[in-house]
């Protein structure tokens, strides 16, 4: 969920004009971190897989931002002012519809940039991560005895059960301990940055996991039947 | 032992101070014991003055952190300068007796620009920084002189330019509001107190010295007890000693070649009666008379019974000074009289031939020696802060100015004499023209001294280097720390611990934590937060007050009265004023007058009970600090006063005026009983601390919970806080500094201190709050290394910008040729070379350009033949000069961006171009970080977020810190910061970690528990690698981390092949020259020991400077290829390989007529 669920994020910024106080790479970094609605991320290719030279509609979305402050005082530029070339990929906005503050301009300052958002995963850069925090728990009753609670007076008072405990039943303490039991239910508490719904993140994450497991399984099967893959270099010890 | 005894005495003393009466010790003890056992009083609720610490911001509003510098400079400009001119007001001529020039006034104008044709002459400090100018104001004098027979008066004659201290009374920033500061592109938080000389910011550090004009008794280096005085007057400085040798007293002075028996010296000063001498020294005390008798006997044995005889005795031994050739030699006795009157204890004035004051003074010195001989405890402690004086910018510049002004006048006089010597002048001589052509002496002298830091004044035998330093702008704290720094005059080589040790008298005056490590440890100190350094106050009013309060003039008193049992001798600034027979009452009344504002607030008075002396001081350089006055066990400041202060009805100065608060200097402080908290007030308490955390300085004040740390850790942090990257000033993006480190997202610390708010560190912070887990992880965290989270770095944690300045001058040469900027050169096909591709037609790369290593950002061309700039060799302007390209290229491995280009003219009207190049750096392996507890570490590994451990709430660390950092360092304050900032982060508020206070751990733990965390700060953590629970609860929380300036990108260096030095053909040295890595002495020894001779040969010769020479086997000299010039044959030439440096050595030896021969042998 943290590392491998793909989202869209601004990856390239072309500066036409920047007379603000922020340096180019400083502002580009800020733009990169702006969350973009990525529900349609599956429509896009990774740009490394795309046939185009630099970027194209298949693998990217273009944004423009052109603000000039002409009045005295401070002009606050929000992420909602980024104009997208694709109505499905727009900056995430909060309740007041403005989004993140990108920078502030004073009179006479101007910012004019052209940005390209690409698909990516957070393994490469954290800006592609859809999650802010992922809580994780299994076995809330500690039936499996994976945990050895530290307490001063009593476990029950000092370690209140989490909400997830309602989903499971506590083992009878008098029953014999089943040392073969494995955890089967996992509880995730997902907080996203707005680019994807928490549900979507979990589903996509499981799909990524399935794909990985599938790939592993296929590789193992190939390994067991080397004949099926005749042209594989047998001298390669790393496979 | 000693301390206890003193304590006892102090108690007695303060009891007396409080009640005025003098009671027996038993009575006092009884009273105080009675007080302690009085249970009712103990259980009474102590009325606390809420928010009395608010006095501190009020104090800082009035005084500020660098007020000492500014006050001292203001005093110089407004008072001292006038005094100096007054003392040297007349210039006369030896040739024409009618001629005179008199300075009737002097003043300093406002800072002005020097550009010739400027309409608006005002200049701002920031413009001086950018244009490499000196921020200086004209010094104007009013003069009166004779021209022929007429008297001429001129006003406002400019004699030079005085560099102006920023924010001093003559600075344009004085009294400016924040908006006005912003208009002048100045940071309102900048402390000021420094100079801008030729574009660089220079600070004159505070210098610590021994007190002048005070008697210090100590054992000298020969083991004799001696009393020494360093007299300092405007004319000269000299050391006088009275020492005890074999039971006899002698007077010693540098200007007298031998030690003079004291009695003889006294007789020479006109005190011929033994009885008078004995009484002055010993009074009527038989004990001292006994001690004195050998001295008196020696006096009698000398047979010099008259003043004349004594003077004749001293005369030949006196090194008379300043004798001009041609003037007849004076008789010996006049020499002696001159030396005694003007050199020995020079600060004691001699009226005509009345030496009595000086005799009394010398006798006093003698008495002090006798006291110390009889009781070793009565020597003075040289390291006691009350015996020290701090010399500030104003005093140092005053010395310099005085010297320059005198030189200016003597030069003027010489020139005037030269002109007047001419038999017939064409015109009436007007000295004004002479005055104008000397204008540069004072300006240049001041500018040179401040910019080089060399204070060499021959008159005072003063030759100090390193008085000024470049203001360090690494961070706001480093600049601030520099302004409060005090450097000591002791040599650092001496291995004595005394001057370096922390002195108890430094309490509240100097910061106990902020001192460097290493050779300067303890010699460089820093002022505490609430200190002030005095300037000179007028002596005369104090003298008058003293006499009015019943001091009997010393001139009217005999020795017996002077040392009478009930009399205290009264000193003013080290001079004997007289005696008082009711010292306690005198001191009390004096203090009443001072508190009511009848006397200056910075005059100090205290009783030295051991020696029965009352000292009054009004001299400059004493450190003092304010304290609340306590009367009869009740603090004078009440909650009502604080309320008025908060409401803005009262200012700090009003507290002084109303006598609620007063300044105490070190000596007076040690004569008081100061309660730290209200609860500690006892009936004999005289003062109450305003706030105890002010004993730390500005830099150590950043540390949260410092009172829980091991003390060296606070010292380490004080050193490291100055290297932290952060915001520097509000005008940081307008500055063009040689090197500027800026943090991209600086944060104020979660755990603040009151000091942080007072010094505005929360507005210009240097660091970020990171989530920290204390656990071992991956093994890349041993030896203090840190594990960083890659996602945090992606999001901007620790990111910083490095700005570098590059300057170029586009010169004009005297022969009318000039440098020029041109567009990039082209190949024949019209293409621009790769490295010139970003240069525009104006010869410069525009802002925003990304520069790679080796690319040109400025293309300048200079006329050929003008390398030296003299213009003599080059072609004249008539023939078109040919030009040579001098491109400036970017020389760093990582790319940088052009941030700014500034084109302006410098002071000498040359075009000046400044480039500001910028790099943005995210933390990488090996970059240095530190928390605020002296816990530095380098980044050992950067880990993907998904591999990081996390809590059940999904909290990830930004930093994983190894727990081994704690046991030996004992930085409990850091643990407390963890818990406090964790609690603060949960609750969404800032916490305080102020020294001796701050948020209570109990409250912090309660917040944690209320929000479902453990009060221990530990949490259940899942491993990011295995997905299993980590085997222990992990202590975690937020901590303020500073990124230090030491970065791998600046230090990384390796070389395979590269440049070689011209002379030796060996690889160059150092990173900046892409040098080789030296296989040094010790490495060589290792290889020898191991026996790897071929490796050694390869490293030292083949990889370095191997050179093939042809040696003649017969004569052993180096010849040409196949030919020996010496033997005139090619018979036995052998080619061998030797280091080029070896060949060089042979040739150098040959040039000195030493012929080394190489003897060839078969192997």
pLDDT of residue B30: 41
Which residue blocks in B1067-1121 are alpha helix, DSSP H? 1081-1090, 1093-1097
- B90-92: strand order across its sheet: B90-92, B100-108, B136-147, B150-163
Nearest to B661 by CA among B633, B692, B695, B638: B638
Is the domain of A108 the same as that of A26?
A: yes
Model confidence at B1121, pLDDT cuts 50, 70, 90, reads confident
Which one of B801, B945, B1033 has the shortest CB-CB distance to A150? B1033
The encoded tokens of residue A66 equal 């052109």
Across B928-951, average pLDDT? 92
Which one of A2, A160, A191 has the shortest CB-CB distance to B946? A2
Residue among A7, A131, A133 with most chain B CBs within 10 A, to mutate:
A133
- Higher-pLDDT residue of A156 and B262 is B262
DSSP H helix total and E strand total for chain A: 3, 8
Summarize pLDDT for B662-673 with one digit per residue, the tens. 999 999 998 899
Is residue A165 assigned to a domain? yes
Across A33-48, average pLDDT? 89
| Residue A17 to chain B, least CA–CA distance (Å) | 10
| Interface check A147 vs B, CB under 8 A | yes
Q: Which residues contact A195 (CB under 8 A, 6 or more apart)?
A: A7, A8, A35, A36, A37, A38, A92, A130
Summarize pLDDT for B954-1000 with one digit per residue, the tens. 899 999 999 999 999 999 999 999 999 999 999 999 999 999 988 89
Which one of B794, B848, B946 has the shortest CB-CB distance to A125? B794
- Backbone φ and ψ for A216, nearest 5 degrees, come out as -65, -45
In sign, the C-alpha dihedral spanning B101, B105, B108, B112 is negative
Summarize pLDDT for B632-641 with one digit per residue, the tens. 888 888 888 8
Summarize pLDDT for B557-596 with one digit per residue, the tens. 888 888 888 889 999 998 899 999 888 999 999 999 999 8
| Interface check A189 vs B, CB under 8 A | yes
Is residue A196 assigned to a domain? no
| Interface check A239 vs B, CB under 8 A | no
State the DSSP code for B1083: H
Share of chain B above pLDDT 90, in %: 37
pLDDT of residue B719: 92
Catalytically annotated residue among B653, B784, B1050, B1114: B784
d(C-alpha B177, C-alpha B183), whole Å = 10
B68-112+123-208+390-503+515-526: in CATH 3.90.1100.10: yes
> Which H or E run contains B288?
helix B286-301
Nearest CA in chain B to A32: B795
pLDDT of residue B45: 52
Model confidence at B476, pLDDT cuts 50, 70, 90, reads very high
Query: How far, in Å, are A30, B326, B849, B855 from residue B859 at the CA level?
Result: 34, 65, 15, 11
Is the domain of A46 the same as that of A111?
A: yes
A-B CB pairs within 8 A amount to 68
**A residues 8-47 near B, CB within 8 Å?**
15, 18, 21, 23-26, 29, 33
CB atoms within 10 A of CB B46: 10
Kindly list the residues from chain A whose CB atom is less than 8 angstroms away from the CB atom of residue B1029: 146-147
Is residue A53 assigned to a domain? yes
Nearest to B392 by CA among B169, B63, B70: B70
Kindly list the residues from chain A whose CB atom is less than 8 angstroms away from the CB atom of residue B796: 29, 33
Is the domain of A28 the same as that of A63?
A: yes
Is the domain of A15 the same as that of A93?
A: yes
Which one of B791, B952, B1028 has the shortest CB-CB distance to A135? B952
State the DSSP string of B1002-1013: HHHHHHHHHTT-
Nearest to B660 by CA among B633, B685, B644, B638: B638
Contact A135 B953 (CB under 8 A): yes
Contact B953 A21 (CB under 8 A): no
| Residue B899 to chain A, least CA–CA distance (Å) | 8
Is residue A159 assigned to a domain? yes
Which residue range(s) make up the domain with A96? 7-127
CATH of the domain at A96: 2.170.120.12
Contact B952 A18 (CB under 8 A): no
Query: How far, in Å, are B403, B405, B430, B436, B443 from residue B101 at the CA level?
Result: 19, 14, 11, 14, 21
In sign, the C-alpha dihedral spanning B614, B617, B622, B627 is positive
Is the domain of A37 the same as that of A108?
A: yes
State the DSSP string of B953-1000: T----SEEE-GGGTTTT-BHHHHHHHHHHHHHHHHTS-EE--TT-SS-
Summarize pLDDT for B140-159 with one digit per residue, the tens. 999 888 887 888 888 888 88
pLDDT of residue B48: 66
| Residue A228 to chain B, least CA–CA distance (Å) | 34
Q: Which residue has the tokens 């004073």?
A: A106
Fold (CATH) for B806-921? OB fold (Dihydrolipoamide Acetyltransferase, E2P) (2.40.50)
Query: How far, in Å, are A161, A187, B1011, B1020, B1027 from residue A164 at the CA level?
Result: 8, 7, 18, 16, 18
Nearest CA in chain B to A26: B744
Nearest to B447 by CA among B135, B157, B158: B135
| Interface check B799 vs A, CB under 8 A | yes
Domain with CATH 2.40.270.10 in chain B: 700-799+925-1043
CB atoms within 10 A of CB B47: 12
Q: By three-state DSSP, how is residue B1019 classified?
A: strand
| Residue A45 to chain B, least CA–CA distance (Å) | 23
pLDDT of residue B1067: 93
Residue pair B1118/B1107 in contact (Cβ under 8 Å)? The answer is no
CATH dotted code for B538-602? 3.90.1070.20
Nearest CA in chain B to A192: B954
State the DSSP code for B522: T
Across B227-231, average pLDDT? 89
The encoded tokens of residue B690 equal 């305003």
Number of domains into which chain A is organized: 2
CB atoms within 10 A of CB B75: 20
Residue pair B513/B716 in contact (Cβ under 8 Å)? The answer is no
pLDDT of residue B768: 94
Q: Is the pLDDT of residue B272 over 90?
A: no
Summarize pLDDT for B197-208 with one digit per residue, the tens. 999 999 999 998
| Residue A175 to chain B, least CA–CA distance (Å) | 25
pLDDT of residue B40: 45
Is the domain of A75 the same as that of A26?
A: yes
Q: Which residues contact B656 (CB under 8 A, 6 or more apart)?
A: B597, B601, B626, B662, B663
Is residue A190 assigned to a domain? no
Domain with CATH 3.90.1100.10 in chain B: 68-112+123-208+390-503+515-526
Contact A136 B1022 (CB under 8 A): yes
Contact A26 B920 (CB under 8 A): yes
Is the domain of A31 the same as that of A70?
A: yes
CATH dotted code for B215-321+331-386? 3.90.1110.10
Contact A23 B801 (CB under 8 A): yes
State the DSSP string of B759-796: TTTTTS---EEEEEEES--TTTT-TT-EEEEHHHHHTT
Model confidence at B28, pLDDT cuts 50, 70, 90, reads very low
| Interface check A133 vs B, CB under 8 A | yes
Which one of A3, A15, A146 has the shortest CB-CB distance to B945? A3
* B179 included as an active-site residue: no
Residue pair B737/B479 in contact (Cβ under 8 Å)? The answer is no
Are β-strands B768-774 and B959-961 bridged in parallel, bridged antiparallel, or unpaired?
parallel
Maximum mean pLDDT: which of A163-172, B869-878, B902-911, B1146-1155: B1146-1155
Is the domain of A121 the same as that of A148?
A: no
Nearest CA in chain A to B1014: A158
pLDDT of residue A138: 83
Is residue A112 assigned to a domain? yes
| Interface check A136 vs B, CB under 8 A | yes
**B residues 831-860 near A, CB within 8 Å?**
848
Is residue A199 assigned to a domain? no
Is the domain of A95 the same as that of A180?
A: no
The encoded tokens of residue A38 equal 């990525």
Domain with CATH 2.40.50.150 in chain B: 806-921
Fold (CATH) for B1071-1151? DCoH-like (3.90.1800)
Which residue blocks in chain A are alpha helix, DSSP H? 24-32, 155-158, 198-224
DSSP H helix total and E strand total for chain B: 33, 51
Kindly list the residues from chain A whose CB atom is less than 8 angstroms away from the CB atom of residue B795: 33, 126-127
CATH level 2 (architecture), domain B700-799+925-1043 = Beta Barrel (2.40)
| Residue B847 to chain A, least CA–CA distance (Å) | 10
């Amino acid at each position: 969920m943290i590392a491998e669920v793909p989202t869209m994020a601004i990856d390239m910024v072309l500066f036409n004009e920047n007379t603000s106080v922020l340096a180019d790479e400083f502002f580009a970094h800020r733009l990169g971190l702006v969350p973009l609605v990525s529900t349609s991320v599956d429509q896009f290719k990774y740009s490394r897989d795309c046939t185009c030279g630099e970027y194209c509609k298949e693998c990217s979305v273009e944004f423009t931002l052109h603000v000039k402050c002409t009045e005295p005082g401070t002009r606050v530029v929000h992420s909602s002012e980024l104009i997208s070339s694709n109505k499905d990929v727009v900056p995430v906005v909060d309740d007041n519809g403005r989004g993140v503050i990108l920078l502030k301009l004073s009179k006479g300052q101007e910012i004019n940039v052209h940005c390209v958002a690409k698909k990516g995963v957070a393994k490469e850069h954290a800006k592609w991560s859809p999650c802010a925090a992922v809580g994780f728990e299994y076995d809330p009753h500690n039936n499996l005895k994976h945990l050895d609670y530290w307490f001063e007076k009593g476990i029950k008072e000092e370690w209140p059960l989490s909400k997830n405990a309602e989903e499971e039943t506590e083992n009878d303490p008098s029953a014999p301990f089943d040392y073969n039991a494995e955890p089967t239910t996992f509880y995730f508490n997902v907080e996203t940055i707005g680019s994807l719904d928490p549900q979507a993140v979990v589903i996509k994450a499981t799909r990524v996991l399935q794909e990985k497991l599938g790939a592993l399984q296929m590789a193992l099967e190939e390994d067991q039947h080397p004949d099926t893959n005749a042209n594989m270099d047998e001298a390669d010890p790393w496979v | 032992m000693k301390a206890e005894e003193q304590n006892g005495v102090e108690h007695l003393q303060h009891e007396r101070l409080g009640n005025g009466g003098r009671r027996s010790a038993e009575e006092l003890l009884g009273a105080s014991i009675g007080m302690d056992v009085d249970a009712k009083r103990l259980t009474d609720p102590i009325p606390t003055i809420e928010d009395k610490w608010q006095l501190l911001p009020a104090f800082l509003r009035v005084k500020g952190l660098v007020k000492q510098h500014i006050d001292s400079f203001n005093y110089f400009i407004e008072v001292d300068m006038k005094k100096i001119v007054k003392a040297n007001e007349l210039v006369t001529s030896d040739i024409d007796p009618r001629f005179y020039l008199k300075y009737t006034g002097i003043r300093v104008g406002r800072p002005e620009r020097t550009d010739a044709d400027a309409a608006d002459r005002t200049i701002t400090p920031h413009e001086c920084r950018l244009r490499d100018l000196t921020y200086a104001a004209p010094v104007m004098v009013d003069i009166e002189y004779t021209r022929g027979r007429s008297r001429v008066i001129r006003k406002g004659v400019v004699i030079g330019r005085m560099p102006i201290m920023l924010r001093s009374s003559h600075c344009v920033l004085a009294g400016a509001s924040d908006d006005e500061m912003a208009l002048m592109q100045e940071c309102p938080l900048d402390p000021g107190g420094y100079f801008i000389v030729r574009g660089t910011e220079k600070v004159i550090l505070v210098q610590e010295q021994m007190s002048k004009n005070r008697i210090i008794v100590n054992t000298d280096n020969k083991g004799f007890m001696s009393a020494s005085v360093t007299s300092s007057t405007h004319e000269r400085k000299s050391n006088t000693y009275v020492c005890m040798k074999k039971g006899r007293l002698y007077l010693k002075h540098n200007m007298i070649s031998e030690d003079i028996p004291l009695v003889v010296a006294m007789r020479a000063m006109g005190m011929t009666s033994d009885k008078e001498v004995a009484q002055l020294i010993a009074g009527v005390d038989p004990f001292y008379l006994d001690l004195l008798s050998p001295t008196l006997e020696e006096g009698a044995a000398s047979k010099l019974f008259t003043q004349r005889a004594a003077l004749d005795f001293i005369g030949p031994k006196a090194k008379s000074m300043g004798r001009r050739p041609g003037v007849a030699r004076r008789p010996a006795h006049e020499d002696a009289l001159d030396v005694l009157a003007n050199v020995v204890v020079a600060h004691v004035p001699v009226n005509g031939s009345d030496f009595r004051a000086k005799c009394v003074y010398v006798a006093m010195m003698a008495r002090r020696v006798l006291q110390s001989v009889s009781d070793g405890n009565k020597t003075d402690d040289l390291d006691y802060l009350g015996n020290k004086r701090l010399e500030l910018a104003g005093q140092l510049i005053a010395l310099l100015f005085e010297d320059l002004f005198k030189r200016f006048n003597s030069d003027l006089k010489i020139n005037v004499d030269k002109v007047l010597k001419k038999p017939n002048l064409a015109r009436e001589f007007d000295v004004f023209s002479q005055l104008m052509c000397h204008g540069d002496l004072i300006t240049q002298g001041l500018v040179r001294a401040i910019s080089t830091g060399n204070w060499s004044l021959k008159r005072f035998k003063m030759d100090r280097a390193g008085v000024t330093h470049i203001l360090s702008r690494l961070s706001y704290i480093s600049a601030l720390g520099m302004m409060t720094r005090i450097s000591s005059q002791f040599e650092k080589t001496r291995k004595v611990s005394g001057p370096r040790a922390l002195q108890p008298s430094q309490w509240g005056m100097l910061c106990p934590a902020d001192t460097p490590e290493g050779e300067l440890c303890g010699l460089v100190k820093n002022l505490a937060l609430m200190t002030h350094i005095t300037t000179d106050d007028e002596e005369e009013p104090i003298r008058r007050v003293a006499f009015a309060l019943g001091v009997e003039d010393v001139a009217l008193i005999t020795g017996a009265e002077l040392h009478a049992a009930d009399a205290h001798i009264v000193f003013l600034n080290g001079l004997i004023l007289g005696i008082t027979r009711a010292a306690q009452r005198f001191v009390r009344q004096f203090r009443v007058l001072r508190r009511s504002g009848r006397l200056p607030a910075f005059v100090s008075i205290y009783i030295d009970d051991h020696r029965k002396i009352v000292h009054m001081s009004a001299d400059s350089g004493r450190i003092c600090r304010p304290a609340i006055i306590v009367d009869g066990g009740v603090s004078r400041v009440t909650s009502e006063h604080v309320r008025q202060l908060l409401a803005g009805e009262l200012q700090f100065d009003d507290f002084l005026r109303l006598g609620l608060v007063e300044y105490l200097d070190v000596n007076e402080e040690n004569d008081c009983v100061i309660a730290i908290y209200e609860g500690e007030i006892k009936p004999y308490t005289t003062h109450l601390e305003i706030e105890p955390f002010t004993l730390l300085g500005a830099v150590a004040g950043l540390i949260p919970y410092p009172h829980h740390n091991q003390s060296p850790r606070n010292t380490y942090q004080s050193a490291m806080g100055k290297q932290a990257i952060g915001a520097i000033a509000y005008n940081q993006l307008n500055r063009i500094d040689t090197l500027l480190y800026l943090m991209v997202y600086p944060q104020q610390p979660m755990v603040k201190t009151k000091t942080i708010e007072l010094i505005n560190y929360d507005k210009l912070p240097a660091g970020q709050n990171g989530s920290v887990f204390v656990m071992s992880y991956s093994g890349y965290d041993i030896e203090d290394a840190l594990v960083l989270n890659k996602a945090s770095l992606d999001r901007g944690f620790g990111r910083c910008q490095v700005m570098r300045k590059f300057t170029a001058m586009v010169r004009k040469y005297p022969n009318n040729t000039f440098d020029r900027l041109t567009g990039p050169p082209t190949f024949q096909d019209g293409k621009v070379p790769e490295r010139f591709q970003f240069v525009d037609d104006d010869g410069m790369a525009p802002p925003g350009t990304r520069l790679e290593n080796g690319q040109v950002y400025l293309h300048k061309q200079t006329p050929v033949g003008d390398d030296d700039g003299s213009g003599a060799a080059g072609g004249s302007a008539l023939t078109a000069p040919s030009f040579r390209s001098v491109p400036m290229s970017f020389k760093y491995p990582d790319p940088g961006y052009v941030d700014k280009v500034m084109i302006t003219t410098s002071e000498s009207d040359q075009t000046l171009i400044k480039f500001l190049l910028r790099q943005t750096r995210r933390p990488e392996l090996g970059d240095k970080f530190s928390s605020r507890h002296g816990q530095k570490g380098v980044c050992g590994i950067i880990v993907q977020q998904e591999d990081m451990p996390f809590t059940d709430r999904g909290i990830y660390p930004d930093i994983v810190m190894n727990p081994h950092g704690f046991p030996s360092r004992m930085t409990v304050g850091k643990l407390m910061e963890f818990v406090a900032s964790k609690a603060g982060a949960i609750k969404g508020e800032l916490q305080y970690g102020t020294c001796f206070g701050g948020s209570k751990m109990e409250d912090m733990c309660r917040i944690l528990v209320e929000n479902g965390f453990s009060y221990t700060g530990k949490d259940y953590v899942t491993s990011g690698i295995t997905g299993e629970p980590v085997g222990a609860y992990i202590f975690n929380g937020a901590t303020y981390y500073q990124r230090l300036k030491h970065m791998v990108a600046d230090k990384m260096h390796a070389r395979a092949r590269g440049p070689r030095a011209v002379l030796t053909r060996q690889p160059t040295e150092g990173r900046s020259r892409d040098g080789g890595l030296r296989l040094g002495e010790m490495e060589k020894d290792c290889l020898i020991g191991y026996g790897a001779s071929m490796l050694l040969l390869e490293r030292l010769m083949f990889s370095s400077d191997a050179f093939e020479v042809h040696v003649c086997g017969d004569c052993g000299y180096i010849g040409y290829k196949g030919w020996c010039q010496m033997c005139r044959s090619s018979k036995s030439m052998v080619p061998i390989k030797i280091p080029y440096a070896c060949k060089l050595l042979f040739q150098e030896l040959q040039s000195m007529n030493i012929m080394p021969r190489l003897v060839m042998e078969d192997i």
